[in-house]
């Protein structure tokens, strides 16, 4: 991803997606139970997760909660999602990963840009990655961006022109260990089919 100028006119910018936190972009759920928080909210246990409310995450490995959610509220060791409660005790191997997911009932989308800002340049050599988890199967998965964050505070990456059209069910997943505990802000610009 380096330059973005030309887009198919069937597409228009419709979404700017944001996430933030102070921890890793992939967190492991605790070996503990989901809790019915009432009002259509479920509390998910994840000690020291560091994710902020409003951050989109993809939960995987569960029996009842696999899927894309926006974090509705946070506490130090839990976060809430909007979901129908189902009793489940997690094994401690399930994950929640910062992710942009199905864009709508439209048939396709294009990535315009990704911006990552850290509160201070990282001092640890760890990669920030952005990758497509293709709905057509792993043969179509692709790594869009890998950047060593050591000494880096800001990343601005744009899809090369012409932008690649993605399936509406493809997931754009992000990973960064963030061992330095920097506060991060992630902004993703998406063009959707009209």
Give the rounded percent of residues in the chain with a pLDDT score beyond 90: 74
Please give the backbone phi and psi of residue 185, each rounded to the nearest 5 degrees, phi first.
Answer: -130, 130
Q: Residues 35-42: what's their mean pLDDT?
A: 98
Domain with CATH 2.60.120 in the chain: 11-20+99-193
Q: Catalogue the long-range contacts made by 63-72 (C-beta closer than 8 Å, 24 or more residues apart).
A: 63/88, 64/34, 64/88, 65/34, 68/99, 68/101, 68/102, 68/171, 72/41
User: What pLDDT score does 1 carry?
Assistant: 44
pLDDT of residue 24 exceeding 70: yes
User: pLDDT digits over 127-161, tens only?
Assistant: 999 999 999 999 999 999 999 999 999 999 987 76
CATH for the 26-97 domain, from 3.90.1300.10, 3.30.1320.10, 2.40.30.20, 3.20.20.30 = 2.40.30.20
Cα–Cα distance, 116 to 159 (Å, whole number): 15
pLDDT of residue 112 exceeding 90: no
SS3 letters for 58-121?
Answer: EEECCCCCCEEEECCEEECCEEEEECCCCCCECCCCCEEEEEECCCCCCCEEEEEEEEEEECCC
User: What pLDDT score does 12 carry?
Assistant: 63
* Sheet of strand 41-45, all strands in order from the earlier edge strand to the far edge: 35-38, 41-45, 78-82, 73-75
Cα–Cα distance, 54 to 14 (Å, whole number): 18
Q: Residues 91-101: what's their mean pLDDT?
A: 95
Cα–Cα distance, 58 to 66 (Å, whole number): 7
**Preceding omega of 162 cis (within 30 degrees of 0):** yes
Domain with CATH 2.40.30.20 in the chain: 26-97
User: Average pLDDT over the chain, rounded to whole?
Assistant: 90
User: pLDDT digits over 41-63, tens only?
Assistant: 999 999 999 999 999 999 999 99
User: What pLDDT score does 100 carry?
Assistant: 87
State which fold the 11-20+99-193 domain adopts: Jelly Rolls (2.60.120)
User: What pLDDT score does 2 carry?
Assistant: 42
């Amino acid at each position: 991803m380096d330059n973005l100028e030309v887009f198919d006119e069937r597409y228009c910018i419709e979404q700017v997606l944001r996430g933030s936190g102070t921890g890793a972009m992939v967190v492991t759920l605790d070996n503990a139970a989901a809790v019915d928080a009432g009002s259509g909210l479920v509390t998910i246990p994840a000690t020291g997760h560091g994710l902020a409310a409003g951050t989109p995450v993809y939960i995987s490995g569960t029996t009842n909660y696999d899927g894309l959610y926006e974090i509705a509220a946070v506490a130090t060791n839990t976060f809430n999602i909007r979901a129908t409660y189902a009793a489940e005790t997690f094994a401690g191997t399930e994950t929640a990963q910062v992710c942009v997911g199905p864009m709508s009932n439209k048939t396709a989308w294009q990535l315009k840009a990704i911006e990552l800002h850290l509160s201070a340049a990282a001092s640890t050599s760890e990669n920030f990655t952005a990758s497509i988890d293709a709905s057509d199967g792993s043969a179509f998965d692709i790594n869009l961006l890998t950047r060593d964050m050591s000494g880096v505070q800001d990343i601005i990456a744009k899809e090369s022109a012409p932008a690649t059209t993605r399936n509406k069910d493809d997931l754009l997943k992000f990973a960064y260990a963030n061992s330095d505990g920097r506060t991060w802000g992630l902004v993703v610009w998406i063009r959707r089919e009209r």
